[in-house]
Amino acid sequence: MNLAYDNILLSKDKALKTDAKSEELNLDLKNYDWLPFWQRISLNYKILGQNMKLKYFERHFLTRKGLSGRPFFKHAIYAAGHNYGYASTELPGLQDALDIEDVGEFYKWLKTLNHIFEE
């Protein structure tokens, strides 16, 4: 397997573990009224910590320069489509490069995505 694919699999594994933890906290939250006060306080801090992890995880997908020709779109995984109006497109850098048939731009975005998934 190549490096990019391995990095995506590792990121997927981390995402699944994070989702499982979020689901566990959500189930605990449903019983919030029945918990003793010290467990409520603990649960609040666990939820706060999980939300911080999710926030920083999402920031890994932002690029400094933004999309080519649209620097105001910084997210490398999804953005409004260049030719699709408000409809969202996945992997917009790659999609834009395919639309304009620019191999160099496509390769640049492959490297960018690989770098994102290495982190």
- Residue 22 CA to residue 29 CA, distance in Å, equals 10
Contact 105, 97 (CB under 8 A): yes
pLDDT-derived band at 1, boundaries 50, 70, 90: very low
Contact 88, 81 (CB under 8 A): yes
Per domain, the residue ranges of the chain are 3-59, 61-119
Name the architecture of domain 61-119.
Answer: Up-down Bundle (1.20)
pLDDT (tens digit per residue) in 52-78:
988 888 888 888 898 888 888 888 888
The upper half-sphere exposure of residue 71, i.e. CA atoms within 13 Å in the direction of its Cβ, equals: 2
Given this model, what pLDDT does residue 2 score?
61
Look-up of token digits 């999402």: 58
Given this model, what pLDDT does residue 76 score?
87
Identify the top-confidence range among 5-19, 39-53, 100-114: 39-53
pLDDT-derived band at 82, boundaries 50, 70, 90: confident
pLDDT (tens digit per residue) in 19-51:
999 999 999 999 999 999 999 999 999 999 999
Helices (H), the chain: 3-30, 37-59, 92-100, 103-118
Angle at 95 between CA 65 and CA 83, to 5 degrees: 90
Look-up of token digits 């790659």: 94
